[in-house]
């Protein structure tokens, strides 16, 4: 889940960058940038959930 979360973070950033490069009109560019950020948020939630309390993990 952690790896998948980080992959989603990268994918979201990829959508943001691609939207900048490929979209010419303002509205779709803004929509795709926001969509990319949405994907990043999902990825961040997954990464957070993949790091539970680590008590005793290193003992």
Q: Which residues bind other proteins (CB under 8 A)?
A: 6, 9-10, 12-14, 16, 20-22, 26, 29-30, 33-34, 36-37, 40, 43-44, 48, 51-59
Nearest of 44, 52, 34, 53 to residue 10 by alpha carbon: 44
**3-class secondary structure, 5:** helix
> CB of residue 50 vs other proteins: minimum separation in angstroms?
9
| Closer residue to other proteins, CB minimum distance, 1 or 14 | 14
> CB of residue 22 vs other proteins: minimum separation in angstroms?
6
Other Cβ atoms within 10 Å of 15 Cβ, number: 19
């Amino acid at each position: 889940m952690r790896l998948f979360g980080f992959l989603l973070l990268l994918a979201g950033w990829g959508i943001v960058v691609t939207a900048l490069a490929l979209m010419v009109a303002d509205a779709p560019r803004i929509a795709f940038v926001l969509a990319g950020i949405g994907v990043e948020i999902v990825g961040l939630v997954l990464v957070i959930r993949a790091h539970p309390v680590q008590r005793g993990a290193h003992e």
